[in-house]
Each structure stands twice: as structure tokens, then as C-alpha cells.
Amino acid sequence: MRLILLLTALLGLLDAHANEIDQQAALTALQRDDSLLIDVRSAEEFAEGALPGAMRIGHEDIAAQIHTISPDKNRPLVLYCRSGRRSALAQQSLENLGYRHVINAGAYDDLLPLLENKE
């Protein structure tokens, strides 16, 4: 029983690490011409404001729709939402599909000033 609990805890740590917000990696990836910026928030949130160049795919739809937008599983995909939670869920879905360069960039409000400073 202890072994099962230990393994569950370790898998949880690995999962948490995989879904960590990494804004620096996101900014670096966005400098590449082949990167794709994806807003995984709701249509209403997207309509209120989105990052320049972002396309919207809801976190709940991303696994079903990503292959039409990016069949290349090596393409850098940068995800963001309101807080980083939905982008973490979307990141996990994409990684489960075999996408190799998926970055959780975190929150829209945190990223907007960083991208404005880069311009």
C-alpha cells in the first residue's frame, strides 16, 4: 500500500512539473517563426481581449482540433488562459497526443505587459 501511495505521489510531482508556467520559455518560443500562440480561454474572454497573434481554441476542444491547425507535433505551441490552470489542462492533453514542445505561458494579464515590452 505504501508503494502505491509513493508512486502516486511521484506521478503527481511529475505531472505538476510538466504543467508549470514558464513565461521565459514562452517568450523564447514566440520569437520563432513557426511557433503558435493559442488562447484556451472561453470565446467571451477572448472577445474581451487577446494577445497579438493568438488564435482561440477552448481547452476542452484542443485535443480534437489541434491536428487541423498543427499536424506537426514538433511545432512549438504556447498556451495561455486567465490563470494558467486551463492552459495546464490543455498542455497535458496535447502532450498525451504526442506534441513535444508545449509551453504553459500562464495568465493573459501577466503575459500582456511582457509582450508589449518586447515590441
* Contact between 105 and 80 (Cβ < 8 Å): yes
How distant, in Å, are the alpha carbons of 9, 101, 108, 113 from that of 91?
20, 9, 16, 23
Say which of 66, 81, 89, 90 is annotated catalytic: 81
How distant, in Å, are the alpha carbons of 11, 31, 61 from that of 16?
9, 26, 22
Question: What are the strands of the beta sheet with 55-56, ordered from one edge?
Answer: 55-56, 36-39, 77-81, 102-107
16: annotated active-site residue? no
DSSP SS3 for 104: strand
Q: Which residues are catalytic, by number?
A: 81
